[in-house]
C-alpha cells in the first residue's frame, strides 16, 4: 500500500494513503494500468487500536455530498458509527475526487483551467468538461480501482450516507461483484433520476419545516421578517453588479465583487459577499439536521445591535450575526456546482436548466417579499454563481452544464432489479433532503433490498444515534454477513 503516515487519535489507529487514478476513466479500467492525466485519490484506513494487527474485513465509507470529503474523526466517539464499525471492520475513509486531500477542486482550479485557454468560451468549455469528471461514474471507478489495486481485490462492505447512498446504487449498478453487503442511511435516490421531480418534493417540505420552526420559536417569525426587510434581493444586487460591469455578458467572473465600492448600502458578509434575502433564506438548509432549528434560532437571536437585541425595524445588523450567517451559508467547493448534476444519468432527453430555480419560480410563498418568510433547503440557485466569490469562477461552466444532456451512466435499472447484494437501508421518514416516499419507491424495485423506516432521526442519524448498530444487527441476523463471520 502507498502509506504516507500513521498515527493515533483517542481510540483509533489511523493510516494515511494516496494512489493515482485517471482524471478521465474513458479508455481505462479499474484494477489495470492507467493512462492519461492522473489525479490523487487520498484515503484513510482506521482501526481500533486493539485490532491494528488483526486481519479484519473491510468496510468502505461512501461520504455524503456531493463534494464531501471523508470524516476527520476526533476520537472513537466523535463520529459514533466509526467506533462501532471498528469493532468489526477495518474502516476505509476515502476523500472523493476533488475533495479533501484528493486533488481538491476550488476557485484556484477553475482559474488554472481558464489561464490555459485562448478565449473565455474555450475556458468555459474546459471547465465544464473538467467538472463532469467529478460525478458518481468516476467516483465509484476510483473506489473499485482502490479495492482491486490496494486491497488485493478483496470484497468489502459499503456504508453510504446521504449522497453516499446514491454512490451505493451506482456501485451496485456497475461493480456489484466487489461488494458483500451494502448499508445506506438517508440516501436512496429515485431511479429514474429527475432533478425537477426532486425539487417538486423539496419545496413543500421546506414550507412544513419553516412552519414547524416558527411554531417552536414564534418570536423568530417577526425577527426573520425584520431582517429580510433590511436586505436587498438577489435581483437588486444583480442590477448593481451589471451596472458596474461585473455581471452579465462579458463580465469577468474571476474578479472580486468590490461591492463596498459599488454601493455602500448593501449589507456585506465578512468575506465581502452581499447578504441578500435569498441568501438569508438558505439558512433553512440546516433544518434537516438536529439541532438545526436551535442553531438557526440562536443565529437570529444575535441579529440586532441596538439595546437588548430585540427586533428593531430598520436597526443595525450585528457583526456577530453577519459572521454566523456567512459560516452557516458558506459555499463548499463542488457542493453547489455539482448539486443538480448528481441527478444526470446518461443521455438525457432535456437539460437540467436550474431545476430548483424553476420549481421555486412556481412557488410564490418563497418570494423575498412574502411573510412569513419561508426558508429554503438544499437547493442551489443561479444568483449564487453571480454573487458569491467562492462560486463566481464556476459561473461560465455552470451555464454550459445546465444546457448539457450528455453525462456518464450512474444507474442500471435492470441490474438493480436483479441485484443479489444484500442492501439494508435506513430511511428517515421526515428526511428533508432525500424524500422518504421516493426512497421507498426505488427500494421496491431493487432486488434483495431491505429497509428500516423511522422518524426518530433526521438526515444525520448515522452520526447522532445507534443507526449503524441497528443496520449491522439486521444484516448479521439475516445472514447477509455470513461470508465474513
- pLDDT tens-digit map of 416-455: 999 999 999 999 999 999 999 999 999 999 999 999 999 9
- Quote the CA–CA distance of 223 and 403 in Å, as a whole number: 39
- Work out the angle between the directed axes of helices 195-216 and 219-229 (0-180°, nearest 10): 120
* pLDDT classification of 166: cutoffs 50, 70, 90: very high
Cis peptide before 339 (omega within 30 of 0): no
pLDDT on residue 256: 61
Cis peptide before 309 (omega within 30 of 0): no
pLDDT on residue 103: 94
- Quote the CA–CA distance of 409 and 138 in Å, as a whole number: 10
- Quote the CA–CA distance of 40 and 157 in Å, as a whole number: 23
By the 10 Å C-beta count (0-12 exposed, 13-18 middle, 19+ buried), 56 is classed as middle
* pLDDT classification of 476: cutoffs 50, 70, 90: very high
pLDDT on residue 261: 61
Q: Which domains are seen in the chain, by residue range?
A: 3-116+134-193+411-478 (3.40.50.1820), 195-401 (no CATH)
pLDDT on residue 253: 74
**Which range among 42-46, 252-256, 271-275, 442-446 shows the weakest confidence by mean pLDDT?**
252-256
Give me the mean pLDDT over the 343-349 stretch.
97
Using the structure block, give the residue that is written with the C-alpha cell 468489502: 156
Q: Per residue in 293-335, pLDDT tens?
A: 999 999 999 999 887 888 766 678 999 999 999 999 987 789 9
- Quote the CA–CA distance of 45 and 180 in Å, as a whole number: 19
Q: Per residue in 101-114, pLDDT tens?
A: 999 999 999 999 99
Cβ density class 75-100: b for 16+ within 10 Å, e for less: ebebbbbbbbbbebbbbbbbbbbbbb
* Of 103, 170, 167, 178, nearest in space to 145 by CA: 178
- Quote the CA–CA distance of 235 and 232 in Å, as a whole number: 8
Q: Per residue in 76-101, pLDDT tens?
A: 998 889 999 999 999 999 999 999 99
48, 11 contact by CB (below 8 A): yes
User: Checking DSSP bridges between strand 423-428 and strand 3-9, what pairing results, if any?
Assistant: unpaired
pLDDT value at 262 more than 70: no
pLDDT on residue 260: 60
Retrieve residue 299's grid coordinates. Answer: 443565529
pTM across the whole model: 0.96
pLDDT on residue 335: 95
Q: What is the mean pLDDT of the chain?
A: 94
3-state SS, one letter per residue, for the chain: CCEEEEEEECCEEEEEEEEEEECCCCCCCCCCCCCCCEEEEEEEEEECHHHCCCCCCEEEEECCCCCCCCCCCCCCCCCHHHHHHCCCCEEEEECCCCCCCCCCCCHHHHHHHHHCCCCHHHHHHHHHHHHHHHCHHHHHHHHHHHHHHHCCCCCEEEEEECHHHHHHHHHHHHCHHHEEEEEEECCCCCCCCCHHHHHHHHHHHHHHHHHHHHHHCCHHHHHHHHHHHCCCCHHHHHHHHHHCCCCCCCCCCCCCCCHHHHCCCCCECCCCCECCHHHHHHHHHHHHCCCHHHHHHHHHHCCECCCCCCCCCCCCECHHHHHHHHHHHCCCCCCCCCCCHHHCCCECCCCCCCHHHHHHHCCHHHCCCCCCCCCCCCCCCCCHHHHCCCCHHHHHHHHHHCCCCECCCCCCHHHHHCCCCCEEEEEECCCCCCCHHHHHHHHCCCCCEEEEEECCCCCCHHHHCCHHHHHHHHHHHHCCCCCCC
Q: Per residue in 202-259, pLDDT tens?
A: 999 999 999 999 999 999 999 999 999 999 999 999 888 787 777 777 777 776 666 6
Q: Per residue in 380-404, pLDDT tens?
A: 999 999 999 899 999 999 999 999 9
The arrangement of strands across the sheet holding 38-47 comes to: 3-9, 12-22, 38-47, 90-94, 58-62, 156-161, 179-185, 423-428, 449-454
By the 10 Å C-beta count (0-12 exposed, 13-18 middle, 19+ buried), 319 is classed as exposed
Amino acid at each position: 500500500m502507498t502509506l504516507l503516515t500513521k498515527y493515533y487519535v483517542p481510540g483509533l489507529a489511523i493510516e494515511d494513503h494516496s494512489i493515482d487514478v485517471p482524471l478521465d476513466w474513458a479508455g481505462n479500467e479499474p484494477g489495470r494500468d492507467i493512462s492519461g492525466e492522473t489525479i490523487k485519490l487520498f484515503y484513510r484506513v482506521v482501526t481500533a487500536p486493539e485490532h491494528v494487527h488483526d486481519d479484519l474485513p473491510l468496510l468502505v465509507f461512501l461520504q455524503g455530498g456531493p463534494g464531501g470529503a471523508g470524516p476527520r474523526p476526533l476520537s472513537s466517539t466523535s463520529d459514533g458509527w466509526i467506533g462501532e464499525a471498528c469493532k468489526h471492520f477495518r474502516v476505509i475513509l476515502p476523500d472523493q475526487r476533488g475533495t479533501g486531500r484528493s486533488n481538491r477542486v476550488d476557485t484556484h482550479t477553475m482559474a488554472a483551467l481558464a489561464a490555459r485557454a485562448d478565449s473565455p468560451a474555450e475556458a468555459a468549455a474546459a471547465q465544464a468538461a473538467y467538472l463532469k469528471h467529478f460525478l458518481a461514474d468516476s467516483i465509484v471507478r476510483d473506489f473499485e480501482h482502490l479495492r482491486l489495486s490496494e486491497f488485493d481485490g478483496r470484497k468489502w462492505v459499503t456504508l453510504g450516507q446521504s449522497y453516499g447512498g446514491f454512490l451505493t446504487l451506482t456501485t451496485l449498478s456497475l461493480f456489484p461483484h466487489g461488494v458483500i453487503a451494502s448499508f445506506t442511511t438517508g440516501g436512496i435516490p429515485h431511479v429514474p433520476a429527475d432533478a425537477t421531480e426532486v425539487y417538486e418534493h423539496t419545496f413543500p417540505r421546506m414550507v412544513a419545516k419553516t412552519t414547524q420552526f416558527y411554531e417552536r420559536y414564534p418570536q423568530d417569525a417577526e425577527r426573520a421578517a425584520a431582517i429580510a426587510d433590511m436586505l436587498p434581493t438577489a435581483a437588486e444586487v444583480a442590477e448593481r453588479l451589471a451596472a458596474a460591469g461585473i455581471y452579465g455578458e462579458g463580465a469577468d467572473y474571476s474578479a472580486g465583487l468590490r461591492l463596498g465600492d459599488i454601493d455602500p448600502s448593501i449589507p456585506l458578509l465578512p468575506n465581502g459577499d452581499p447578504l441578500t434575502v435569498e441568501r438569508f433564506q438558505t439558512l433553512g438548509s440546516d433544518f434537516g439536521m438536529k439541532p438545526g432549528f436551535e442553531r438557526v434560532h440562536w443565529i437570529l437571536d444575535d441579529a440586532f445591535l441596538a439595546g437588548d437585541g430585540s427586533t428593531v425595524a430598520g436597526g443595525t445588523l450585528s457583526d456577530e450575526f453577519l459572521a454566523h450567517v456567512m459560516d452557516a451559508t458558506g459555499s463548499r467547493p463542488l457542493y453547489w456546482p455539482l448539486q443538480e448534476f448528481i441527478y444526470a444519468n446518461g443521455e438525457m432527453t432535456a437539460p437540467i436548466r436550474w431545476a430548483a430555480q424553476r420549481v421555486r419560480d412556481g412557488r410564490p410563498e418563497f418570494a423575498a417579499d412574502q411573510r412569513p418568510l419561508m426558508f429554503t433547503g438544499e437547493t442551489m440557485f443561479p444568483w449564487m454563481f453571480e454573487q458569491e466569490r467562492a462560486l463566481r469562477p464556476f459561473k461560465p461552466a455552470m451555464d454550459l452544464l445546465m444546457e448539457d444532456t450528455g453525462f456518464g451512466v450512474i444507474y442500471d435499472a435492470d441490474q438493480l432489479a436483479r441485484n443479489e447484494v444484500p442492501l439494508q437501508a435506513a430511511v428517515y421518514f421526515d428526511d428533508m433532503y432525500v424524500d422518504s416516499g421516493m426512497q421507498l419507491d426505488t427500494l421496491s424495485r431493487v432486488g434483495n433490498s431491505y429497509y428500516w423506516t423511522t422518524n426518530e432521526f433526521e438526515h444525520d442519524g448515522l452520526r447522532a444515534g445507534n443507526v449503524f448498530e441497528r443496520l449491522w444487527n439486521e444484516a448479521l441476523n439475516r445472514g447477509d454477513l455470513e461470508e465474513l463471520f
